[in-house]
Amino acid sequence: MAKIQTEGTPNPNALKFVIDKELVKKGAFSFTDKENCANSPLASKLFNIGSIKEVLIAKDFITVSKDAYTDWNELYDKVIETINRYLDLGEPVILKIEETENKSGTNIEEKIKNILDSQIRPAVASDGGDIIFHSYEDGILKLHLQGACSTCPSSVMTLKAGVEAMLKRQIPELKEVISV
């Protein structure tokens, strides 16, 4: 049985389940409904519990977001049991990882991606979320928030006061950061 520690997140509707084993080699995989999680039987099983709105699977944690109407007391034991049962099977958590074509971006895009990967994503992951580069054009950076961050009440503040402010200090060409 895997050792699972639970951590709260800034989002009251999301909990981070830290697991003592590697779930995926790199990256994070977000599932927002049962219909789109054929690539993850574990995510599918978590959605079967009901009241689950998103599952984010990263290297050594799973963030589960619930609807605002259900109390964690109703879900917590079911989530832990579902994760443990699946991990006891020894099956992969993500069935296939499609390699995305590594498009070389502009120098500014590469600098943004490096800052995201080295400074911002680890901080966001510590709160049970992930932040993905979407696009950069004419000084506007579009990012996709996942996991606990996607529905967190303070996500706009984090994006503007945290991410945007940090990036603007290092990249003067950046005008604005928005979530997509």
Reported pTM = 0.74
In this structure, what CATH number is given to the domain that contains residue 141?
3.30.300.130
Q: Provide the token pair at 140.
A: 């506007």
Q: Provide the token pair at 121.
A: 């994503």
Residues 125 and 84 in one domain: no
Residues 69 and 131 in one domain: no
- Write down the pLDDT at residue 98: 56
- Write down the pLDDT at residue 55: 92
> Amino acid identity, residue 141?
L
- How big is the CA angle at 82 (ends 153 and 98), to the nearest 5 degrees? 75
Range of the domain at 114: 107-179
**Domain boundary, last residue among 89, 124, 147:** 89
Q: Which element (helix H / strand E) includes 66?
A: strand 61-66
| pLDDT tens, N- to C-terminus, the chain (180 residues) | 778 999 888 889 999 999 998 888 877 888 988 888 888 999 999 999 989 999 999 889 999 999 999 999 999 999 999 999 999 999 889 887 655 444 556 788 888 888 787 777 777 777 777 888 888 888 888 888 877 777 777 777 777 777 888 888 888 888 988 888
